[in-house]
Amino acid sequence: MDPVPSSPASAATAVRTKSGHYSFWRLLREGLRGQRGWRPAWVKASPKPRYRVVIVGGGGHGLSTAYYLASHFGITDVAVVERGPIGLGNVGRNTTIVRSNYFQPANIRFYEYSLKLWEGLERELNFNAMVSQRGTLNLFHTEAQRDLFTRRANQMRLLGVDAEAVTREGVKSLVPLIDLDNGRYPVLGGFLQPRGGTVRHDAVAWGYARGASERGVDIIEHCEVTGIRHDGGRVAGVETSRGFLGADIVCLAVAGHSSRLAGMAGLRLPIETHVLQAWVTESLKPVLDVVLTYGAGHFYVSQSDKGGLVFGGAIDGYNTYGQRGTLPMAEEVAAAAVTLLPGLARVKVLRQWGGIMDMSMDGSPIISKTPVEGLILNGGWCYGGFKAIPAGGMTTAYLVAHGSPHPLATHLDLGRFAAGRPIDERGIGPFPYAH
């Protein structure tokens, strides 16, 4: 099934090239001309009084929705309204892991679709997003966990998605630094998704922004939405720090701020807000060329192209909009890191940061209409929304354009919580923070 329409001719003719085609020859030419020919990658637009679609949030999902609306659905009367500069929210704060190793068939199909879009993204956007399919390796430490992972891998393979069992020896050859017999949770083996990997996060925001802007989308930075106007149950537009913007459709793509923004329209979402931290070490020579996740705790690590080890853990367990996080979580993650990779014990951590997570009550996202007509929600990404940016944007754009859910996102409707059919991704019953 290919539920994605190819670019309609009307969209293709709307392309307005502003920054020019990026290529080796352009690099060479600019190098010889003193770099004087580069132009801004996107236009810093000022707000107009009215748009057909206003997207709130210049993160990955907002920008990709705008891009696909313009490029695949021919809708260019669109504004992306961002309260700061684009790309400084979670899209620029995550640990950059992409994969589609889920358990529920509907989720596997959705995230696999995203992975396929990642695979063609750089060519489509003509932008180097450093897509690196180095493989994601999930470790298991008990026989029960082996069963669970086998079940998940079998589901994936039945749907045509890559998943391979890896022996202890195989794990060691993939990750020579690992201590398989560590005293806490010896490693019994792992599961590899060879097509998983990493993508340079901020390049994703910039690439989508450039693609959207060149097709006529207004990207309006430093414009905070302070209210959502709705008359008689229908959305009318957004109040912003730069005035009122009328709109037929308003799409919220504000990640950790989903409940706050939905609250402006009188909606209460099944979402809680938490902080998730990440860390990066000093640069090392190449020591790790897969994305490694620990099965006995919450720890995941990959090595960036600059050489730093980028790693993270679980959310801090209290509600907050602060982007800092606490030391106990840092300690827990560091303990997991040196349990698994003792050679890291003396490596210095250079930076720590946090991002605000919109944790849904079943750990799966929401791409849905809302009870306010014309108000669409893209949110509830928990801490797995980066990998979903291409599919999230495409399916949200589809919902905006067609008024009905994309075939791969019907299970992500908001109504599932009230109707008692949450998504049981972990296979152990739904519960808050099930991500």
Ligand X SMILES: Cc1cc2nc3c(=O)[nH]c(=O)nc-3n(C[C@H](O)[C@H](O)[C@H](O)COP(=O)(O)OP(=O)(O)OC[C@H]3O[C@@H](n4cnc5c(N)ncnc54)[C@H](O)[C@@H]3O)c2cc1C
Helix (H, G, I), strand (E, B) or coil at 10: helix
Per the CB < 8 A criterion, the answer to whether 122 and 129 are in contact is yes
Is 393 a binding residue for ligand X by CB under 6 A? The answer is no
Q: How far is CA 421 from CA 103, 105, 129, 268, 293, in A?
A: 16, 15, 37, 18, 29
Is 187 a binding residue for ligand X by CB under 6 A? The answer is no
Is 84 a binding residue for ligand X by CB under 6 A? The answer is yes
Q: Binder to ligand X among 47, 60, 196, 430 (CB under 6 A)?
A: 60
Q: Which stretch binds ligand X (CB under 6 A): 13-21, 93-101, 124-132, 401-409?
A: 93-101
Nearest CA among 17, 21, 93 for reference residue 60 = 93
Q: Which is nearer to ligand X, 47 or 57 (CB)?
A: 57
Question: Least distance (Å) from ligand X to the CB of residue 83?
Answer: 4
Strand pairing class (97-98; 291-293): unpaired
Question: Least distance (Å) from ligand X to the CB of residue 56?
Answer: 5
What is the DSSP code string of 372-394? SBTEEEEE--TT--STTHHHHHH
Nearest CA among 420, 161, 184, 149 for reference residue 297 = 184
Is 79 a binding residue for ligand X by CB under 6 A? The answer is no
Q: Binder to ligand X among 249, 278, 288, 401 (CB under 6 A)?
A: 278
Distance (Å, rounded) from C-alpha 166 to C-alpha 102? 18
Question: Least distance (Å) from ligand X to the CB of residue 153?
Answer: 19
Is 91 a binding residue for ligand X by CB under 6 A? The answer is yes
Looking at residues 108 to 167 of the shown chain, list those that interact with ligand X (rule: CB under 6 A). none
Q: Which stretch binds ligand X (CB under 6 A): 3-11, 36-44, 80-88, 169-177?
A: 80-88
Looking at residues 191 to 250 of the shown chain, list those that interact with ligand X (rule: CB under 6 A). 224-225
Q: Which stretch binds ligand X (CB under 6 A): 24-32, 54-62, 119-127, 214-222?
A: 54-62
Q: Which is nearer to ligand X, 189 or 379 (CB)?
A: 379
Q: Binder to ligand X among 11, 78, 97, 288 (CB under 6 A)?
A: 97
Q: Which ranges constitute the DSSP H helices of 298-377?
A: 327-340
Question: Least distance (Å) from ligand X to the CB of residue 270?
Answer: 16
Q: Which is nearer to ligand X, 91 or 171 (CB)?
A: 91
Q: How far is CA 238 from CA 63, 253, 254, in A?
A: 18, 14, 14
Question: Least distance (Å) from ligand X to the CB of residue 383?
Answer: 5
Q: Which is nearer to ligand X, 81 or 187 (CB)?
A: 81
Output phi, psi for 195, to 5 deg. -85, -5
Each residue 325-364 as x (binds ligand X by CB under 6 A) or -, in order, gives ------------------------------x---------
Q: Binder to ligand X among 381, 400, 411, 425 (CB under 6 A)?
A: 381
What are 154's two structure tokens? Answer: 């079998």
121 DSSP β-pair partners: none
Q: Which stretch binds ligand X (CB under 6 A): 79-87, 149-157, 183-191, 412-420?
A: 79-87
Question: Least distance (Å) from ligand X to the CB of residue 28?
Answer: 33
What are 90's two structure tokens? Answer: 């979670």
Distance (Å, rounded) from C-alpha 149 to C-alpha 103? 9
| Strand ranges for 194-348 from DSSP E | 197-198, 218-220, 225-231, 234-240, 243-252, 271-281, 291-293, 300-303, 309-319
Looking at residues 247 to 266 of the shown chain, list those that interact with ligand X (rule: CB under 6 A). 253-255, 257, 261
Output phi, psi for 230, to 5 deg. -140, 135
Is 297 a binding residue for ligand X by CB under 6 A? The answer is no
311 DSSP β-pair partners: 279, 301
Residues that bind ligand X (CB under 6 A): 56-62, 81-84, 89-91, 93-97, 224-225, 253-255, 257, 261, 276-278, 312, 355, 381, 383-387
